[in-house]
Structures are given as structure tokens and as C-alpha cells.
Amino acid sequence: MLKIGIIGAGRIGQVHAESITKYVKEAEVKSIADVYLNDQVKEWAANMGITEVYNDYKKILEDKEIDAVLICSSTDTHSPISIEAINAGKHVFCEKPIDHDVERIKNVIKALESSKVKYQVGFNRRFDHNFRAVKEAVAAGKIGQPHILKITSRDPMPPAVEYIKVSGGMFLDMTIHDFDMVRYLLDSEVEEVYAQGAVLVDKRIGEEGDIDTAIITMKMENGALAVIDNSRQAAYGYDQRAEVFGSKGQVAAYNDTTSTAELSNADGVTKEKPLFFFLERYMQAYAQEIREFIEAITQDKEVPVGAVDGLKPVLIGLAAKKSIEENRPVKISEISF
């Protein structure tokens, strides 16, 4: 059983700790660290059976019993802690993004070149049962040559304005998952991006220089076209769908619901709303990505989502931001890397 240390005890750190404890039998969370450690976190950790709790993550890196670390701290710490962990000989699972700065991501990739540690980036949607089924159908040629990919990704509510200030913008925070899904589902790289955005949900988001509504179109290297539509607020819940249309047919994935029951009566036909938030929607995906990370370590296999996979969506996100700013299509080759 691998011993894991988690760096960052915020929302995503706690999600991983709970998913590992409940669903991943091959690993044990030995310790957790958070610079803002408080009594509430200590109590939560104790309830999870995590007895080693620190405010200094370096204690996790210095622990010889720790096989791997999960970096779930604030985004600005991801790349420097990644390099420290690599140098300490720990396998690394790093939540997205590795960094907002391309050069800092390249430094992580360079550190990995002289290391034997496994490094996986946390794009959990690749491990969702719905999207994986779409991927498998496309890869098996069941829809022929892919022509059009449509992704809908809408949150049930916008984040706090305080988060917007440090998120890097919607494209590098929210849409980055969809940029990764485009590459994953089509098995091709994005060649060109054209993005349009608006502030339709919360004017305070606009006051911080960001957008909350967007449509992004992409030309792929394999000739296919892709479109993403995003909103920070869908009144009916967490809206996560994808459709790939090809020369021989199409494959689509729809929202998960609490049940598939559908009521038909004189008032009409109704069914359940989508699951409300990502914790409900993707908990099993979080567990599965850690299982496959552990499998890569124990069986000395390639990780399913490597550091270069962490770089590419950032490049796409930066191209989308440039497209908004300059009101034109932007080629990925224009982004320096």
C-alpha cells in the first residue's frame, strides 16, 4: 500500500483525501499539510483517520515513508512545490494547472527529464465514466472520422469574487478542463482558437477583468472542428455534456442525475435535474484518476495525464485570452513555449 501525503487541505485537498480513504484501497493518506492549518482542519483530518497534520509541507517531503504527494495547494505554489517534490524523489500528482506561466511549467518538465518519478496532472474529467465511453467509441472508429465536437460546461453558481482575483481567469480556471477534453476526445492538438466572451452573470466578475460566459471555437490538426460553450451559472445545476459527430455517426454523453426516473402526467413530462455540483458529479472520477496514478507507480507505466498534457491546455487558454483581447483567431503557435 502506497503512503500518500497531501499538500493543501482546502476543498480539493479534502476531496482527494475523502475519495482515497473511501474508494482507493491501494493507498493510505499518511499526512496532510496546509499553511492555513486550523482546528477545523485538524478535526476533519482526525475524522478521516489522518493523524499527521502539519502547517509546513516540507515535513511531508522529508518523510521517507511517503511514496507520493498530491499537490492541492493554491495554483501559484504548484510548480515550485512540484520541483521540490521531484527533487525529493516523491511521485507527484499535481492538481491543474501546473502553473499559469508557461516558463514555470517548462521548468517542471525539465526537472522531470533527469528524474524517474511519476508526475500526473489532475484533469479528472478524463476519468469520468460518461466521457471515457465517448472517448472509447471515437477511438474504436465507431463514428468514423470525427468532424465536430461540442462541449457544454456550465457551473451551477459563480465562484466568489475573491477567487476570481487569483484564478487566472475563466479560461485558465474553468475552461481549462474543456480544453483538455477537446484534446482527449479527439486525440488531436488544437491548431487555432477563436473566443468570444461576455459578462452576463455577475458584473463584479467583469470589474475584475474576467468574463463569465464564453463560446470558443477551435480548428484541430486532424481537420475536425470543436466548440465549447461555458457559463458560470446554470440555474438547473451542473451542466456537463459532450457530443462527437463523425462521418459514420455520433456519440454523446449527457448529464448525470440522481435517478433516471421520468414522470409523465397531465402537467407534462418531467425528470431529475443534473447533479448540482462537481463533488457529486465527479467523486468517482477523482478516485479513478488516483487509482491509475498508483498503477503507474506500482507497475512502472506511463501516467495517463503527464506534464506535457498539463502544458497544452494552458497554451490553449492563453491563446483564447489573446483572442478575446485582440478580437481575432489565434494560432497556438503564436503562444511562446
Within a 10 A sphere around the Cβ of 231, how many other Cβ atoms?
Answer: 22
Q: Mind giving me the DSSP string for 189-256?
A: -EEEEEEEEE--S-HHHHHTT--SEEEEEEEETTS-EEEEEEES--TTS-EEEEEEEETTEEEEE---
Q: What is the pLDDT of residue 337?
A: 54
**Cross-strand bridge partners of residue 332:** none
pTM to 2 decimal places: 0.95
Tens place of pLDDT for every residue, the chain, 337 residues?
899 999 999 999 999 999 999 999 999 999 999 999 999 999 999 999 998 999 999 999 999 999 999 999 999 999 999 999 999 999 999 999 999 999 999 999 999 999 999 999 999 999 999 999 999 999 999 999 999 999 999 999 999 999 999 999 999 999 999 999 999 999 999 999 999 999 999 999 999 999 999 999 999 999 999 999 999 999 999 999 999 999 999 999 999 999 989 999 999 999 999 988 777 889 999 999 999 999 999 999 999 999 999 999 999 999 999 999 999 999 999 997 5
